[in-house]
């Protein structure tokens, strides 16, 4: 329990830092933020002053930051410069679609990566290991956005098994999840393989064999339990990249998720929307890493001692 509390508390400075950077996005942009807000409309000194007062831009920076944090905590990300609707409601509409994609990709990564890693790691240098290793090397190298195109071409256009575009139903989730998840499956395969090979050379596996345990019991009870922990850390570290990689996947498959929204907002320089999305992904990433660390503490008691 002390471990859990310690890990959660250690994230607070990082989260505060993330908030400061997101806050600074608007301030770092060259030029006057008020001019940016009024982009596309007629700019008069009166309106500039009005906008500055309305958005609190006439206040000193620390005061602005306090207001900014207060708003975030209340779930208020401000209003989109372009549509004038609250960013939070725009986000709420798009989160389910992105969450679906991220979970789909995670399932693909684990469902493909773990069995492949076991198959390769149990018998190193066998034929099946060579195939798995070769495929995973290629799987890591193929850019996911090109893989997405290839999948569309084969499975959507030629075979017509899955739809190429849209968000309707579970079928529409299959291709994007594979496109995003396969690279991570390859990473898991390689990691799990190498940790299994190391573990199988440990004395305790020899002991387990000497006791007469079956190979499957050795694998699942002794080897895998240790071997999987580095893969879990890697997935935790990679989930942030997966969320960001979803940007291109959402664009290719025309899924209106937060990634698509981010690209749109960067193109149109819709700062409140950019701030909200960046904050959301970064905070999610930090939270997931805490969960991963706690999970590791459960799997491996040695980890807990560091705290």
Partner 1 sequence: MTQGTLITAPVLPSVRRPARRERSFVLRHLGALVLVAASVAIVVVVAAAPLIAHFSPIDVVGPARTAPNGTYWFGTDNLGRDVFSRTLFGGQQTLAIAAISIAVATFIGVLIGVVAGYFSGAGSMTLMRLMDVLLAFPTMLLALVVIAVAGSNAQTLTIAVAIAYIPTFARVVFGSTRRIRSEDYILAARVVGCSTLRILYNHVLRSLFVEIIILASSALGWAVLLAAGLSFLGFGVTPPDPEWGASLSAGTAYINNAFWMSAAPGVAITLVILITNLAGDRIAAWWQRTGR
Residues near partner 1 (CB under 8 A): 13-15, 17-18, 20-21, 25, 28-29, 124-125, 137-138, 140-143, 145-146, 149-150, 152-153, 157, 187, 190-191, 194-195, 197-198, 201, 230, 237-238, 240-241, 243-245, 247-248, 251-252, 262-263, 265-267, 269, 271, 274, 278, 281-282, 285-286, 289
CA distance 307 to 304: 6
Between residues 202 and 214, which has the closer beta carbon with respect to partner 1?
Answer: 202
Between residues 167 and 243, which has the closer beta carbon with respect to partner 1?
Answer: 243
CA distance 175 to 100: 12
- Shortest separation between residue 267's beta carbon and partner 1, angstroms: 7
Between residues 47 and 303, which has the closer beta carbon with respect to partner 1?
Answer: 303
Pick from 86, 68, 53, 76: nearest CA to 22? 68
Buried b (16+ CB within 10 A) or exposed e, 156-172: beeeeebbbeebeeeeb
Between residues 25 and 43, which has the closer beta carbon with respect to partner 1?
Answer: 25
Pick from 152, 147, 153, 113: nearest CA to 133? 113
Query: Is residue 246 within 8 Å of residue 259, measured between CB atoms?
Result: yes
- Shortest separation between residue 140's beta carbon and partner 1, angstroms: 6
Rounded to 10 deg, the angle between the 258-268 and 271-299 helix axes is: 140
Handedness of CA 16, 238, 164, 95 (dihedral sign): negative
Between residues 47 and 295, which has the closer beta carbon with respect to partner 1?
Answer: 295
- Shortest separation between residue 191's beta carbon and partner 1, angstroms: 5
- Shortest separation between residue 44's beta carbon and partner 1, angstroms: 26
- Shortest separation between residue 238's beta carbon and partner 1, angstroms: 7
């Amino acid at each position: 329990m002390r471990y859990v509390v310690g890990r959660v508390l250690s994230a607070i400075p990082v989260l505060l830092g993330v908030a400061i950077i997101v806050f600074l996005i608007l301030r770092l942009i060259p030029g006057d933020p008020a001019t940016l807000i009024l982009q596309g409309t007629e700019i008069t000194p009166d309106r500039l002053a009005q906008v500055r007062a309305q958005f609190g831009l006439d206040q000193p920076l620390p005061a602005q930051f306090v207001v900014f944090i207060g708003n975030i905590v209340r779930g208020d990300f401000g209003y989109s410069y372009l549509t004038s609707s609250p960013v939070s409601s725009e986000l709420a509409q798009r989160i389910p679609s992105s969450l679906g994609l991220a979970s789909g990709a995670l399932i693909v990564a684990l469902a493909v990566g773990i069995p492949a890693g076991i198959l390769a790691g149990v018998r190193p240098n066998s034929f099946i290991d060579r195939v798995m290793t070769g495929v995973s090397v290629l799987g890591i190298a193929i850019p996911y956005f090109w893989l997405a195109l290839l999948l569309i071409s084969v499975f959507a256009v030629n075979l017509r098994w899955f739809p190429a575009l849209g968000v309707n139903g579970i079928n529409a989730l299959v291709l994007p999840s594979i496109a995003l998840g396969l690279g991570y499956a390859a990473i898991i395969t390689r990691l799990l393989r190498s940790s299994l090979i190391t573990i199988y050379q440990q004395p305790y596996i020899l002991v387990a064999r000497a006791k007469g345990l079956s190979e499957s019991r050795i694998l699942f009870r002794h080897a895998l339990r240790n071997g999987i922990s580095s893969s879990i850390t890697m997935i935790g570290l990679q989930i942030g990249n997966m969320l960001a990689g979803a940007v291109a996947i959402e664009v290719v498959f025309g899924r209106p998720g937060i990634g698509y929204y981010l690209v749109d907002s960067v193109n149109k320089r819709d700062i409140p929307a950019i701030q909200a999305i960046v904050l959301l992904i970064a905070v999610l990433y930090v939270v997931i890493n805490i969960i991963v660390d706690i999970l590791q503490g459960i799997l491996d008691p040695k980890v807990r001692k560091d705290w």
